[in-house]
Structure 1
Amino acid sequence: MKIVCLSGSKVGSKTRTAMNYTVKALKEKYPQYDVTLIDLAEYEVQFSDGRNYLDYNGDTGYVTKTLMEADAIIIGTPVFQASIPATLKNIFDLLPVNALRDKVVSMLVTAGSAKHYLIPEQQLKPILSYMKAQIVQTYVFIEESDFLQKKIINDDVLFRIGRLAEDTIVLTGAYKRIKEEEEAKYDF
């Protein structure tokens, strides 16, 4: 199973910090799976210009192809101006409409205050649904007060990150079994 953890911003440290904890939780509990962290701050991703994702080279090609090959994606995003960052939206624009079909996608959101807790519901879930993702319904929402010196200091947040990792793996496995059973009904 291939799992990609996508840190969806070029600025700030909180989302990357939370994604590091997520990767650690996955690797500790599920060492048999291939876990890749893509932090958009470390890549030079071009703006989408309508080309097929396979026609992009360099960092853009690597990021899009890695996402397309994933069985599950955990998206980490901060909330900027009551929305997802443009860097994350650009990733969705680079991918085909059905790019997330047969993929399980879960979310981890960092924000300055609790006032933004519905941004994933209003901004991110509609995009993921449109792209045909199988969405893990619960997500981890982390506030500014849960961090101190680039560490998560709230044990409940750490528990929820572990649970998000587990839910993502369980749903991916269940969905894969369902697809295999359906495909086994056909003789070709």
Structure 2
Amino acid sequence: MKILGISGSLTGEKTSIGVYEVLMAIKAEDPEAETELLDLKDYEVEFARGFPLSYYNDDTIAVVNKMLEADILVFGSPIYQASITGALKNLLDHLHRDAFQSKVCGIVMNGGSDKHFLVAEYQLKPVLTFLKATCAVRNVFIHNDDFNEDNEIINADIQARIRKLAHELLQLRKAFSGGNPGNLG
């Protein structure tokens, strides 16, 4: 079973840390899970122009293919202007409308205002469901104050929510695969 975490931030580390923590919680529950963190700041994903994927650079093709090969996807984004990052939205614009059929997705968001905790529900989840993803009911919102000066998550409630999200993602995947999380549903 392949689990891909995607950090949709082009700067900073908090989004990557949040996604990574979900991947580690999945790995703790299922040691055989194959996890990978894909940080968009490490790739040159081209601006989506509506062309077939083969028209884009190697990074764009590689990132899209990694998403298509994953069984579970964990998307992370900081909140900018009450929305997900343009980089993450651009990446999703490269996908066809059935790209996430039989895939399970989770969402981790971070930001400086508790007022933005619904961005996952009203900005990102509709895009993922349009792409036919089955999204976890739980989302994780991490306030900037939940990190210490070393960018470690120090809020025990957030850590518990991360574990619950990981568990839910594995349970959804198991349901899709007839009880065997490694089989595609």
| TM-score normalised by L of structure 1 | 0.90
1:99 aligns with 2:99: yes
Give a deviation string over 1:149-172, Cα, whole Å, max 9, x none.
211110111111111111111101
Gaps of 5+ in 2: 180-185
Give a deviation string over 1:126-162, Cα, whole Å, max 9, x none.
1111111111111011111101121111011111111
Contact residue 72 and residue 173 of structure 2 kept, 8 A: yes
1:158 is matched with which residue? 159
Q: Pick the structure with greater CA Rg.
A: 1
* RMSD of aligned alpha carbons: 1.4
Contact residue 6 and residue 37 of structure 2 kept, 8 A: yes
1:16 is matched with which residue? 16
SS at match of 1:83: coil
Q: Aligned-pair distance for 1:36? A: 1.2
Distance 2:3 2:19 in 1: 13
SS at match of 1:102: coil
1:85 aligns with 2:52: no
Distance 2:8 2:107 in 1: 11
Number of residue pairs matched?
A: 178
Distance 2:48 2:121 in 1: 24
| TM-score normalised by L of structure 2 | 0.91
Gaps of 5+ in 1: 179-188
Amino acid at match of 1:131: L
